[in-house]
Amino acid sequence: MGVPVKYRGGGEANALYDWLDITSGVGYRRYLAGASALSSGALYFLTSRDIDSLPWNVTSGLSAADWQLKQDLDFDIQFKKAAYISGAAYINVLHAIDSPGAGDVVDGITTKIFHVNPAGTETQIASAVGALRSTEGGGSIQYFKECIKLDCDGKQFSVGDRLRLNVLHYGKDTGGNGSMVLYFDPSGKKTFTDISGGSVNTTLSLDVPFTIDI
């Protein structure tokens, strides 16, 4: 006699990864940062879908020679299944700087990854500071697509916990009238030519290392 369906075990879920690092024993899942315009203000989030984001960038004016923190953005995703994160994470982010004069504007990006429990308590599991970039000539906006590597401390995520990507955008301007832009559109709707002459899009991605059994 067969076991009724309602008494059967659920079985194991099949996890899908965008790529595997066999030597490290991790499976990578790529999340894309985006935003939604609500009546209460912009909601920032992480998603695995290439959806359109609105807003899809933030522009910050610069008017001081000292460092200024202009953007402090949190992109979250909530876990529906338990998972363990450990190893090297990778962030790819596009930013731009604009100044009438060469070398006037300098910007930098700091990234952090947090475990956030249902009560809202943050535990930092990774942090990295990107290289500083400066305008190489005046009169035109210049684009930089960064890859920032972060080493994640091992952390168990339970159902209901959130993974949080925090992006800090700093800048300074000795000329007093420059600006900088941070992009985060999951669909990558626009492309630009970066400082090296390559084509780059507006996605902000986070590749997360999940421990797997191989």
The torsion defined by the Cα of 38, 39, 40 and 46, in degrees rounded to 10, comes to 0
- Residue 137: exposed, middle, or buried by beta-carbon count in 10 A (0-12, 13-18, 19+)? exposed
C-alpha to C-alpha distance for 180 and 166, rounded to whole angstroms: 18
The reported pLDDT for the residue numbered 191 is 97
Check whether 177 has a pLDDT greater than 90. no
Sign of CA dihedral 190, 194, 200, 204: negative
Residue 47 lies inside a defined structural domain of this protein: yes
Residue 5 lies inside a defined structural domain of this protein: no
Q: Looking at residue 81, which CATH number applies to its domain? A: 2.60.120.260
Query: Residue 92 — φ and ψ, nearest 5°?
Result: -115, 120
Residue 6 lies inside a defined structural domain of this protein: no
How much is the average pLDDT of 32-39?
95
Comparison of pLDDT for 8 and 55, the residue scoring more: 55
Residue 12 confidence class, pLDDT cut points 50, 70, 90: very low
Looking at the structure of the chain, the number of domains it has is 1
Residue 146 lies inside a defined structural domain of this protein: yes
Check whether 188 has a pLDDT greater than 80. yes
Residue 14 lies inside a defined structural domain of this protein: no
Residue 20 confidence class, pLDDT cut points 50, 70, 90: confident
Model pLDDT for residues 116-167, shown as the tens digit of each residue: 999 999 999 999 999 999 987 666 799 999 999 999 999 999 999 999 999 9
**pTM for this model (two decimals):** 0.89
Q: Write out the residue range of the structural domain in which residue 39 sits.
A: 19-211
Residue 28 lies inside a defined structural domain of this protein: yes
Model pLDDT for residues 37-93, shown as the tens digit of each residue: 998 889 999 999 999 999 999 999 998 899 999 999 999 999 999 999 999 999 999
Residue 139 lies inside a defined structural domain of this protein: yes
The reported pLDDT for the residue numbered 15 is 67
The reported pLDDT for the residue numbered 136 is 76
Residue 3 lies inside a defined structural domain of this protein: no
The reported pLDDT for the residue numbered 4 is 47
Q: Is the CB of residue 151 less than 8 Å from the CB of residue 88?
A: yes
C-alpha to C-alpha distance for 93 and 111, rounded to whole angstroms: 10
Q: Which residues contact 133 (CB under 8 A, 6 or more apart)?
A: 95, 97, 106, 107, 108, 142, 144
